[in-house]
Amino acid sequence: MAAAYKPVIWVRSKLVYDLALLAGIFLYIFLYLQVATAYQDITNPIDGLILRMRAFGSCAFILLSMILCIGPLARLDRRFLPLLYNRRHFGVITFMVAVVHASYVMSWYFAFSPVDSYVALLSINTDYGQVLGFPFEVFGILALLILAILATTSHDFWLSFLTAPVWKALHMLLYVAYVFVVLHVALGPLQSDKSALFIVVVGALVLTVSALHFWTARREGKIEAIGLALKRADGMVIAGRISDIKEERAIIVPVPDGERVAIFRYGGKLSAILNACQHQNGPLGEGRIIDGCVTCPWHGYQYDPATGRSPPPFTEKVNTFNLKLEGDTILLDPTPNPPGTRVEPVIIPSESAEPSADLKEARA
């Protein structure tokens, strides 16, 4: 978070993250080239260019699978949150590895083509009606184009220019790119590969990514259903009990229109703000109060819990919500106040009373 424009805000943790990532990539490429050379058929040796093409291609696939696992894993266990912090650099580096893979493809297979190499790439095999022998290159091209768009728009300038919801929707294209990459690999190199090892590795990655996201999608559906169930006849939403919220933490409450609200407990008070950070729509309710401010767990953006405003000189602001207490039960008005509207925090009585009849009924 910076008040003045800086192209990239380099901090120690970002440098360590990027260096560790680059070291991992170099180590993988080195080991791949060593091991693949040692195990190749000596009567039919593989050209060095093809080996490097495969090394970078498999590396890009593994990196893409890892990126897709970070989000659900961070939801599952907070210890994965540091991986999420610099995920955009991870994505840009993956795109660069994929570009190196593509450049080896072009320089090996189409270098001596009588027609333009890009024309040759798209016209050498046009049997789209068959499964085996399908021109798998087209899936690789489409995936690379999507990765290029995502890498180009990964900078905070585009995030600010497009606004977080639009930027986030655009970057959902990564899922489509992953499907294309899986088809590219399954219809291409895995069809001609004689070893079962690569099939097992690729299959395990596909299964892991799919299972993690399927689990997250089901969880999201259940949360929305809870939001509808907790609405009372007077329009208020039963948010929970005071004792459900730990000091300087929040509970996340789904409201009937599909939005989520984070209710924070701090210094004997309760305040409610929108759960989506203005920066990248990170889950504010999974963060905590630091220096009196709600702090986003993704990138550390901060908001005053009573006003929903970032402390000066920052200008970000989120919606606030009205709360009231009925005994120990917290009731939330699901109608949002305009972003940055001050709402007086609800004072927690010194002794919690019994939960209200509504909450008992909702829990039953």
**Chain contacts with other proteins (rule: CB under 8 A):** 131-132, 165, 168-169, 171-172, 175, 179, 182-183, 186-187, 190-191, 194, 199, 202-203, 206-207, 209-211, 213-218, 220-221, 257-259, 276, 281
Q: Nearer to other proteins by C-beta: 24 or 203?
A: 203
- State the greatest distance between any 2 C-alpha atoms of the chain, in Å, as a whole number: 84
Long-range interactions of 167-171: CB distance < 8 A, separation 24+? 167/280, 168/280, 168/281
Q: Dihedral, CA atoms, 112, 117, 123, 124, nearest 10 degrees?
A: 30
Q: Nearer to other proteins by C-beta: 178 or 303?
A: 178
Length of the chain: 364
| Cβ contact 331:238 at 8 Å | yes
Least distance to other proteins, CB of residue 159, Å: 13
Residue 240 to residue 230: CA distance in whole angstroms: 10
Q: Nearer to other proteins by C-beta: 9 or 179?
A: 179
Least distance to other proteins, CB of residue 358, Å: 25
Q: Nearer to other proteins by C-beta: 209 or 273?
A: 209
Q: Nearer to other proteins by C-beta: 30 or 175?
A: 175
- Pinpoint the alpha helices (H) of the chain: 12-39, 48-76, 81-85, 87-109, 117-123, 137-152, 156-162, 164-171, 173-187, 189-192, 196-229, 357-363
Q: 19 vs 45, 49, 201, CA distance in Å?
A: 34, 26, 25
Q: Nearer to other proteins by C-beta: 115 or 211?
A: 211
Least distance to other proteins, CB of residue 113, Å: 26
Least distance to other proteins, CB of residue 106, Å: 25
Residue 288 to residue 114: CA distance in whole angstroms: 62
Residues 6+ apart with CB under 8 A from 224: 254, 258
Q: Nearer to other proteins by C-beta: 25 or 274?
A: 274
Least distance to other proteins, CB of residue 339, Å: 12
Least distance to other proteins, CB of residue 3, Å: 27
| Count of Cβ atoms closer than 10 Å to residue 59 Cβ | 21
Least distance to other proteins, CB of residue 352, Å: 33
